């Protein structure tokens, strides 16, 4: 039977177009309004959703993998990695049996490598403690390493049809705009749970996320196309308090050095391994880099743009800078180019090596 969690405050009434946001805040969606809201959203989702590979399965392993990959990473960047990773590690047993370096190498290019390590630990725990089967209950999923509230709810609702709501950045934004007020994290979870369609919880959760990703976008929501426009308090008038924070900007310089291999060995490039306990991309290999410009100015090869968490980097790549050119002097190790596919390298390094025709 369908359950209905009330949202505190007044019952919803559809907001007329052009209504003043401040005076007609929606406090909730109750009664028939709630059923109509759910139907409108699910109809739109059935008709308009993007055809993504993780939406064609109920396999909890495949859903879990997609959810971890999609954290802080755009869908287009995930698609190819998801296909390759699943082909290499098709189930939780295969992932659990893999060496960590192989897992990191398959993850290479996605960034946030701590996710890959936790994925690997979690797969081992599922095999050791659950016989290779994902637990179905939300609380049991939450107890696994690297699975937080969002991921546990996504797996439970999509793979096992459990009525638990998800809140990610997209859902939180949609909820704030519909309600017309800034929401704390706890309030967002409460509202999301109240709106959830218990008969199709997985689809409803994905519909909310899809709405935020494709229609109710951060900077320019496309309200005329929105299936829940009539219940939305803001309808595109976004209070300043609801806008997202700005990205920081930084510049870095990288050295791309290549030398001929000795005898039968293939050419080599110089790479540096990040510290094992670095907070970002620990243990990954990358080109020598510095936040200081070189003292003398060798020929500058190319400039790249690259974003990591909340920072947008402008990356100046110097090709074969003179050895004495601080700050790159004699850092790192010479690595044969044919070894690179087996090494966990950072996404930025991969991008530069591809642009240089090296891999
Ligand atoms: S797209 Fe517009 S109408 Fe729809 S939820 Fe977002 S702000 Fe509201």
> Where do the structural domains in the chain lie, given as residue ranges?
31-242, 248-355
Q: What's the pLDDT score for residue 142?
A: 94
Ligand 1 nearest atom to the CA of residue 238, by list position: 7
Measured from the CB, is residue 208 less than 6 Å from ligand 1?
no
Q: What is the pTM of this model?
A: 0.65
Please report the pLDDT score of residue 311 as a whole number: 74
**Beta carbon of 52 within 6 Å of any ligand 1 atom:** no
Strand order in the sheet with 300-308: 289-290, 248-256, 311-319, 300-308
Report the SS3 class of residue 141: helix
pLDDT at 26 over 80: no
3-state DSSP assignment of residue 140: helix
Q: Domain 31-242: what homologous superfamily?
A: Hypothetical protein; domain 2 (1.10.340.30)
Q: Tell me which residue of 192, 185, 198 sits closest to 211, measured CA to CA.
A: 192
Q: Is the pLDDT of residue 161 over 80?
A: yes
Tell me how far apart the alpha carbons of residues 311 and 86 are, in angstroms, rounded to a whole number.
Answer: 30
32: confidence class by pLDDT, cuts 50, 70, 90: low
CA-wise closest residue to 242 among 134, 169, 135, 142? 169
CA of 33 to the centre of ligand 1 (A): 16
Which pLDDT score is estimated for 112?
A: 79
Phi and psi at 283, nearest 5°, equal 75, 0
Residue 327 reports pLDDT greater than 80: no
Is the CB of residue 205 below 6 angstroms from any atom belonging to ligand 1? no
- pLDDT reported for residue 343: 81
8-state DSSP, 246 = P
Name the CATH architecture for the domain at 248-355. Alpha-Beta Complex (3.90)
**Range scoring the smallest mean pLDDT among 89-93, 218-222, 274-278, 286-290:** 274-278
96-152 pLDDT, tens digit per residue, is 999 999 999 999 888 878 889 999 999 999 999 999 999 999 999 999 988 999 999
- Is 67 annotated as catalytic? yes
Over residues 221-277, the pLDDT tens digits come to: 888 889 998 888 887 665 545 445 556 889 998 888 888 876 666 789 999 988 877
- Which residue from 276, 281, 268 is spatially nearest to 115, judged by alpha carbons? 281
The residue nearest atom 6 of ligand 1, judged by CA position, is: 216
- Which atom of ligand 1 lies at the shortest distance from residue 212's CA? 6
pLDDT, residue 111, reads: 81
d(C-alpha 200, C-alpha 166), whole Å: 13
235 lines ligand 1 (CB under 6 A): yes
User: Which pLDDT value is given to residue 247?
Assistant: 64
Residue 216, ligand 1, Cβ within 6 A: yes
DSSP secondary structure, 307-346, as one string: EETTEEEEEEEEES--TT-TTSTT-SEEEEGGGGGGS-B-
* Atom from ligand 1 closest to the CA of residue 232: 8
């Amino acid at each position: 039977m369908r359950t209905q969690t009330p949202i505190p405050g007044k019952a919803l009434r559809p907001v007329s177009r052009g209504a003043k946001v401040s005076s007609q805040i929606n406090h909730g969606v109750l009664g028939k309004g709630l059923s109509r809201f759910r139907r409108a959203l699910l109809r739109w989702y059935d008709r308009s959703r993007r055809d993504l590979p993780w939406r064609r399965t109920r396999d909890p392993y495949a859903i879990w993998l997609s959810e971890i990959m999609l954290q802080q990473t755009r869908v287009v960047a995930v698609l190819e990695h998801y296909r390759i990773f699943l082909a290499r590690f098709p189930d939780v047993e295969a992932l659990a049996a893999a060496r960590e370096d192989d897992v990191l190498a398959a993850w290479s290019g996605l960034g946030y490598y701590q996710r890959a390590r936790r994925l690997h630990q979690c797969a081992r725990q599922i095999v050791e403690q659950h016989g290779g089967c994902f637990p179905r209950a939300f609380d049991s999923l939450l107890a696994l390493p690297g699975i937080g509230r969002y991921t546990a709810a996504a797996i439970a609702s999509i793979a096992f049809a459990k009525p638990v709501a998800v809140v990610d950045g997209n859902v939180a934004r949609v909820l704030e705009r519909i309600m017309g007020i800034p929401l704390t994290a706890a309030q967002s979870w409460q509202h999301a749970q109240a709106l959830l369609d218990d008969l199709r919880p997985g689809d409803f959760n994905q519909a909310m996320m899809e709405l935020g990703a494709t229609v109710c976008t951060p900077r320019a929501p496309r309200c005329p196309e929105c299936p829940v426009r009539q219940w939305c308090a803001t309808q595109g008038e976004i209070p300043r308090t609801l806008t997202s924070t700005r990205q920081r900007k930084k510049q870095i310089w990288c050295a791309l050095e290549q030398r001929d291999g000795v005898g039968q060995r293939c050419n080599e490039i110089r790479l540096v391994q990040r510290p094992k306990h670095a907070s970002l991309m620990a243990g990954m290999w990358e080109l020598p880099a510095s936040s200081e410009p070189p003292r003398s100015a060798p020929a500058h090869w190319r400039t790249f743009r690259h974003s990591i968490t909340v920072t947008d980097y402008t990356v100046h790549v110097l090709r074969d800078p003179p050895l004495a050119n601080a700050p790159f002097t004699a850092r790192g190790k010479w690595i044969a180019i044919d070894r690179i596919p087996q090494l966990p390298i950072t996404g930025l390094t991969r991008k530069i090596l591809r642009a240089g025709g090296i891999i």
